[in-house]
Chain A
Amino acid sequence: MNATVIVFPGSNRDRDMIAALTAIGGKPPRVVWHQSDALPPSDLIVVPGGFSYGDYLRSGAIAARSPIMQKVRERAEAGVPVLGVCNGFQILTEAGLLPGVLMRNASLRFVCREVKLSVENTDSVFTSGYRPGAVIRCPVAHHDGNYFTDDETLARIEGEGQVAFRYAQGTNPNGSRNDIAGVFNDRRTVLGLMPHPENLIENAHGGIDGRPLFEALLKAA
């Protein structure tokens, strides 16, 4: 799999993502610095977690407007799978590649803990490795993960099967509407999620529930 990881100043889970892609994909992804105006041919583009530009403005707002994101948008339109995790999810919503916004957690505090996720739609290159209706473990670590959209958009994404993951069994850590933890674009080729599947891929992490996501992408590539 030819994966590419986009790195902004302030990205900090880029190394975790690179480690996961390397361990599961069998070769290290290419790493593209935000100032680059060239994006290599890729089977998968990943926008990793972190605090791009410090997130002193709205999380992801500045990164979404950097030149490299124009290239990412072009690839996404061409159908290349794009995965955004945590800050990457925030960046993809700010870039308009995914519906909704991520507000400050309802508790107003950063939260790092393990949650349960139900896999809501397995019909995508990201989620096809999970059983329909599966409930998996996954850690979260964020300050701004409170997913919000207006009623109309919410009805649409719910109706169109764009909800990829939902916090399950009362583990919603941030106040997200409808317990939404991850959403697709309308073609289900772009996925953004707040939890960190890259931090649950080997026994040292205490579980491997994040692996099927990467394995499915590898299979599709």
Chain B
Amino acid sequence: MSFDNHIEITPQLVADHGLKSDEYLRILDLLGRTPTYTELGIFSAMWNEHCSYKSSKKWLRTLHTTGPRVIQGPGENAGVVDIGDGKAVVFKMESHNHPSFIEPYQGAATGVGGILRDVFTMGARPIAAMNALRFGAPEHEKTRHLVSGVVAGVGGYGNSFGVPTVGGEVEFDARYNGNILVNAFAAGLVDTDKIFYSKAEGVGLPVVYLGAKTGRDGVGGATMASAEFGDDIDEKRPTVQVGDPFTEKRLLEACLELMATGAVIAIQDMGAAGLTCSAVEMGAKGDLGIELNLDAVPVRETAMTPYEMMLSESQERMLMVLHPEKEAAARAVFEKWELDFATVGKTTDDLRFRVLWQGKEVANLPIKDLGDKAPEYDRPWSPARKQPALRPDDVPQMDIADALLRLIGGPSLSSRRWVYEQYDTLIQGNSVQRPGGDAGVVRVEGHPTKALAFTSDVTPRYCEADPVEGGKQAVAEAWRNLTATGALPLAATDNLNFGNPERPEIMGQLVGAIQGIGEACRALDFPIVSGNVSLYNETNGKGILPTPTIGGVGLLEDWNGMARIGFAAEDEAVILIGGRRDGGGHLGQSLYLRDLFDRREGTPPQVDLAHERKAGDFVRALIGDNIATAVHDLSDGGLAVGLAEMAMASGIGARINQLDGLDPLPWFFGEDQGRYVITIRRSDVDRFFDELLPPTALFAPWIGVTGGTALTLGEARSIPVAELREAHEGWFPRFMGA
């Protein structure tokens, strides 16, 4: 076959590679000549938004990313946080939005595969996964198809690979009609002295290709993911990769076995932009050049061109730099697992990225400019317009019991059982809290009492109304959900999903959200240790809701003492921790307004970070001291929904008073932040109010008593827990038609 590496580089070809004309001029400037076709492909792979973070880097630098437990912050395959006893948790969240819209099963599956690879690349065995999924309106013609495919894809990959999916989110909003979000999280455990990094060290060492063969799937995927969608979306199907969890499972076992031999100097998985990105990152980070010989790359199709090989996003592949004297032992490991093992290049000292094919040099580029010195933009941005506050006299009325049943029986708050029962939530035998609570909890294998808690949170409607407050709220809610199990929040990963950053109002959302996230992470000692930015989530010029998903990780010293959301026993005191003395009742941007009256109005609730911290630390102490018998954080739908969830989780009802003189609607459905509902034994009530509460200066009214088989909210009619459950469990299966 013929491959012409020196075709004319026309402005159209440059544009087709997603490169702007000023970026192309920069390339000409860097090289002092016209790039070859392969080189143009390499630049497009490295300089696209997905790989280079060129629009967000300036702002990401402002995040809080360090702390006494942080072993590795952003910039590696995943973040690493010390959990004591010589162990660390390795975790990250990453989006696979564009591919999942085009091909939901494979898009979601390879999203899970990619994030698992990021974790075990660092030497960690994956122990937990989560998925934050956002779909269009339930009634949109594509939504059911996308839900069905994405959920099956997430399950298909994670279940076969063998990692428990312990949490996540599933939400619907018309703003995702043309652009769904699939944010995959994975966490693994590693010994702190056996962590592996991507930075290559040493000149003349073998660069080894491991795993599956290279095919034509996913060519140009990262570039596709860095552009808006138009009407030609179905033509983009070939840019979606195909997942093979069986090979990934073998790759995991082979990599961990290989790492144990001491042969590995550096390792990088081939994710977005495949061979190009992994080779450039290893070299650039280590201040080394890399020379690749493509004739040695295992391929599964004939006549692949160097351009295709460099841009393929075939899955389940790794690149490593190995100690040459251990190459034979390394090869034996991969042969045992029946995976490809090929020496495809070497490290050099010339800081060039050189690619050879059929005896010719098809690319020769400055490696630092491709990698850590890629372009960076300070894009113009405009702050979000402030929404007017919702007037108290403008609150639409509804019967409290009816409103509650409609909320928990609707698309936003109904049970996600239909989804999570398609995920293996208990494999590995360590899941001590499975989906349905505030956070998933997984025991630390090999330790008698320790466990890790995982949660994923963001409230996009708040972020749109006020990006700064929304960013703060996403972090605070993640921190709160971890706290509600009794865990100490350790660190977080952020997956920032936004529209087109070239529009100042979208850029303003990104800047605002990062500011809010930064403030909250600082105030709560909850550093961001890894993350991912997904921009251009737009179809035909319509952007998604700004969605900065926060994946949080917390540590429980003893899982036996953790809290759950279900009411634990009859006749216990129900206490609202962290309420507002004036009753609060913030209904701006609430689910009550949006889901029941289709009104997206008002300011989102303010997040008082000092209050968050005080309330959370108090609740955690109450769990640790075995005072709190059940704990649930309050968020979407407010107090009424929180109480209903606590009742449904155990079957025990409760009778709740509304505070004297307060309007019941805002009291039960307001979404004020920094609040928890807890229950305590009657015998602890005096001690709680006389000794434990006063030093905190928190407001924590005793609002009711557990018992019976119905939930009674103030003057509203009693709702049997069975009726709550029926409403809660019914929506999703009905919606999906099964």
A positions within 8 Å CB-CB of B: 9-10, 12-13, 15-16, 19-20, 33, 35, 50-51, 53-56, 107, 109-113, 139, 141, 143, 196, 198-199, 204-205
- B738 x A12 contact (CB < 8 A): no
**B428 touches A (CB below 8 Å):** yes
Docked complex Cα distance between A55 and B161 (Å): 12
Residues of A within 8 A of B430 (CB): 204
Of B159, B246, B426, the contact of A9 (CB 8 Å cutoff) = B246
Residues of A within 8 A of B423 (CB): 110, 112
Docked complex Cα distance between A109 and B153 (Å): 11
B positions within 8 Å CB-CB of A: 152, 155-156, 159-162, 244-247, 249-250, 336-338, 420-430, 432, 443, 559, 738
* Contact A141-B427, Cβ < 8 Å, known A10-B246, A110-B422, A111-B421: yes
Q: Closest residue of chain B to A198, judged by CB?
A: B429
Of B156, B250, B425, the contact of A10 (CB 8 Å cutoff) = B250
Q: How far is the CB of A213 from the nearest CB of chain B, in Å?
A: 15
- A9 x B422 contact (CB < 8 A): no
Docked complex Cα distance between A10 and B159 (Å): 11
Residues of B within 8 A of A199 (CB): 426-427, 429
Docked complex Cα distance between A19 and B445 (Å): 10
Docked complex Cα distance between A109 and B425 (Å): 15
- B432 x A204 contact (CB < 8 A): yes
- A13 x B427 contact (CB < 8 A): yes
4 more A-B contacts (CB under 8 A) besides A9-B246, A112-B426? A20-B429, A51-B246, A56-B246, A204-B432
Residues of A within 8 A of B421 (CB): 109, 111-113
Provide a sorted-by-A list of 15 A–B residue pairs whose CB atoms are within 8 angstroms.
A9-B337, A10-B246, A12-B427, A54-B244, A55-B160, A107-B738, A111-B421, A111-B422, A112-B421, A139-B426, A141-B159, A198-B429, A204-B429, A204-B443, A205-B426
Instruction: Name the 8 nearest CB pairs between A and B, nearest first.
Output: A54-B246, A12-B162, A51-B160, A141-B424, A16-B429, A110-B422, A110-B155, A10-B246
Residues of B within 8 A of A55 (CB): 160, 246
Residues of B within 8 A of A109 (CB): 152, 155, 421-422, 738
Residues of A within 8 A of B159 (CB): 51, 110, 112, 141, 143
- A10 x B160 contact (CB < 8 A): yes
Docked complex Cα distance between A16 and B427 (Å): 7
- A50 x B162 contact (CB < 8 A): yes
- A13 x B162 contact (CB < 8 A): yes
Residues of A within 8 A of B155 (CB): 109-110
Docked complex Cα distance between A33 and B421 (Å): 31
Residues of B within 8 A of A12 (CB): 160-162, 249, 427
Residues of B within 8 A of A16 (CB): 427-429
Q: Closest residue of chain B to A173, judged by CB?
A: B421
Q: How far is the CB of A201 from the nearest CB of chain B, in Å?
A: 8
Q: How far is the CB of A206 from the nearest CB of chain B, in Å?
A: 8
Q: How far is the CB of A119 from the nearest CB of chain B, in Å?
A: 21
- A204 x B428 contact (CB < 8 A): no
Q: How far is the CB of B158 from the nearest CB of chain A, in Å?
A: 10
Q: How far is the CB of B481 from the nearest CB of chain A, in Å?
A: 21
Docked complex Cα distance between A97 and B186 (Å): 38
* Contact A54-B156, Cβ < 8 Å, known A12-B161, A12-B427, A198-B429: no
Residues of B within 8 A of A113 (CB): 421
Residues of A within 8 A of B337 (CB): 9
* Contact A112-B249, Cβ < 8 Å, known A16-B429, A141-B159, A204-B559: no
Of A33, A50, A110, the contact of B156 (CB 8 Å cutoff) = A110
User: Taking each of A19, A54, A196, which has the highest tally of chain B beta carbons within 10 Å of its own beta carbon?
Assistant: A54
Residues of A within 8 A of B156 (CB): 110
Residues of B within 8 A of A141 (CB): 159, 424, 426-427
Docked complex Cα distance between A143 and B428 (Å): 18
Q: How far is the CB of A138 from the nearest CB of chain B, in Å?
A: 11
Docked complex Cα distance between A193 and B86 (Å): 39
